[in-house]
Structure 1
Amino acid sequence: METKQLSAIPETMLIPLWAKATETINNGGLLHDETAVEIFQKLDYDFSKFKKATMSQVGCCVRANLIDQETKAFLKQHPDAVVIQLGAGIDARYQRLGMPTVTHWYDLDLKETIDLRRQLIPETEKNTYIALSMFDYQWIDTVKAAGKPVLIIIEGVLMYFEPQLVKDFFITLCNRFDRATILMDMLSYMLVKHNKQHDALKKMDKEAEFKWSVLHTEEMEAWHPKLHLGKEYFMSDYTQGRFPLIARLAYRIPYFYRHGNQRIVRLEIE
């Protein structure tokens, strides 16, 4: 299946796909995703360019697994929730979690991505797709309509947008939702404007720039009185020794641990 038409940011979804499929095929233990393997085998794309991108391969699986675990915990507490995954790409989290019996699960992305997604992962009664920019806030009315607890998942997306746009996005969420839980990843602070140093992104044909992160997640709480940090994971703590030795040693240095770590963050609007 052809992928050459994808623009720069949508093309980045192929990196986590490759990472998850590789982990599953090799029985690596960080994540198991049979749907990723099926999609990986269907796409006409030169994934071999990523074969030396160990940090990304491990990191994508750790990131996905931590968000999966937080999602499971949320759904255990709120089995009737409405879930929306923004910038979903071709991630199969709904399938990977066993197609949970939520009120509804939406996957949102740009039309070019949703068109491809529909060919690869069929929609179901409980899991449907929205072809829209995450900054086109029509989706908020859709997820609020059921009057159920809301979980918003944003993985591998926010780092590509300007800081003011990201801030305005969270302010809008706080203004529009009385309550909601947000699961997201936070780019390593030292990678902002240094995408050419990323082991996988630098191998892509089209350039996508890293534009946003914050060094201390608590800074986001100042954006709106309803926005609160619930939990934060530093991903280097969860790699099971799979990062290269030089990286494992670097993360023992407090400065690098803070500045060089990608994080998984749970935010609460309340």
Structure 2
Amino acid sequence: MAHDAPPSPELDDRTIETAIALDIDPFAEDHLLWIARSAQNDAELPPGWHRCTLADLSEGYANPALGVERPDHPRAEEFRVLVAQERRRTAARAHRPHPEQPRKRARTGNASGGGGGGDENATSRMGKTLHVDARIAAMEASHRIALKGAQRKVAELERRLIEREEAWENERMEAEARTHRVVVEAEERSRVGLEDERRAMRDTIRRAVERERKVAAEEATRAVKTSLRSVKAAEAEDARRRELEAGGGAQQDARLRAGGA
């Protein structure tokens, strides 16, 4: 009689994983699974503790104030003590005879084929077979949990890889944008600098032209003034000459009149 049935729906991988962490055989000790479920669902975390993802991408617990991270529940030792107590209590109850049933004497089988001994041996062999099957099922469940954990780690690594690639792409785009912005700003500064140089050159040329115009105007003014002075001097000289000529003619007429008399 093989025990090949899959675990019941309530015996999920998380319950099996918690049971194994508490040293409970999830198939051979199903009467202790309530402790595993209590640990994973009902157990209140101590102050300062919270669930987290460990460095190996598995689920665990952390206390930032203490700087501690651990894969098992912070109260795991309490649950292990409870598991040991339940084991002792169950073992004691299994060895205690029922009060309403008389204690049976052990029957010893003989070589001639005592039926009682054969039944006990068959029962023992069947129990051992069931126990081995349960252990195999527990190992398969443990391996399945490890496989799922590895799959979760791979998925988490792929997700982080995608996030890093997206972050690198964003950084690359930001770097290109910064480079483009720097180039545009440099071109703008260069253009502004050229405009300032052109403006300064135009101002210099305009001031030089204005100075030349001013100098030319001053020279023209001086030339005009000099010409006016020359003209006035010539006019004055001509007027004196006419006056002299007029005065000399009058004297000659007077001398002529005096000689005729």
**TM-score strictly above 0.5:** no
Looking at secondary structure, tell me which structure has more helix per residue.
2
**TM-score scaled to structure 2, two decimals?**
0.21
Of Structure 1 and Structure 2, which has the larger fraction of its residues in strand?
1
Structure whose alpha-carbon radius of gyration is higher: 2
Relative contact order higher in (CA < 8 Å, ≥ 6 apart): 1
